[in-house]
Chain A
């Protein structure tokens, strides 16, 4: 990813007047996601905890982290809910399509939970501990939406 390149978070036709920096850690994450379909975490040299998304500092140890480690792309459902009430998505100004699966995914090798959609094609299989894998977007742009959603695998 070129230094002056920008990540675009789409809000449909709605424009938002904000420009956020994701920093070096976030940039590495999105670059690996887009170019190599890899999910990167970062490991604390003191406690050994692996964080996704990667960030510069382990809060409990207040320790700078530099060691990137690849995690996932599979994992298990750490916890989840199924959203059933309709509400306006403030990111787009449109009603969020419900129901949808809201997953906190424990990616293999990570110690934190990664938030993403869970496919509800077979709702009964969506449960804590169920094995999941990402479904990748056809065109990857270097955003969190490069993963469309996670689906339960047998």
Chain B
């Protein structure tokens, strides 16, 4: 009651109209620029298609990582700022596995396990790629998920569980501590350098015609779609078909009910971490495979976009996180039509801020996210 009261009061005092008019004007200007650009040839259809394709894939990664963040946000009731570094951990663990499998025999095990720290091994040289080393990639993705689950459960046991009853803010601050410890531990072990991870040149690709040119689809694009789509479908089935899934869905769908039924049981929390962290780890691995580079800061750089997606989709909504991820991914990519490319991510942040101001419950859900 209190929260909804406050919320209503805020909504009322927001003075929404001038801002709303501003948003509409910006949208009109964008539409005009795009249409006139396409008409005059200032914007090529093929480059637009390429941007959309890129944004879609980026969005799938954000959405996949966002499912976990959204679940922990709503069930454990705090914004986990370490989520991005879970993603990085998964990427490193998975890549280490892939390196080991693909490169064993010709290189030292240490160098492979450290994902070529300090330039000792190069992913391109050992031929990492979904077609060149399919087993290494498949096992890498599995290990990425599994190790992130183990990490998340261990951190929950020793860090979050003892302060489960504290406020969401205390947990948020704690998660910032976890984030930095994890990130710089990764840097300590794997080094600060950003390394190339795939044999980018040997990844099969097709050029898809698009009116005035072509845009490129690679095998890694396709594998990302397959993995992300498969996992999203899996989560959907888990939530719809299993008893545990239904309990989780109920909990994130209806917080009031959750509050009445008491603090979620440890079993549900554990499942939440397992599902969320597993998806996040795989997302991290697929991200790194797809973009072809890996650095200790990758997860942090993606985190705010993941937050943006989760907020856009409505905290607690899994489908919202997926949809929000795609919208945010598209925003970050396609916005370069209107603004300098350095501000792609900034544009995604602005979308998030605007959503927070106008519809903090998210665009894909009708309920409030108290």
Same assembly: no
Chain A positions within 8 Å of B, measured between CB atoms, are: none
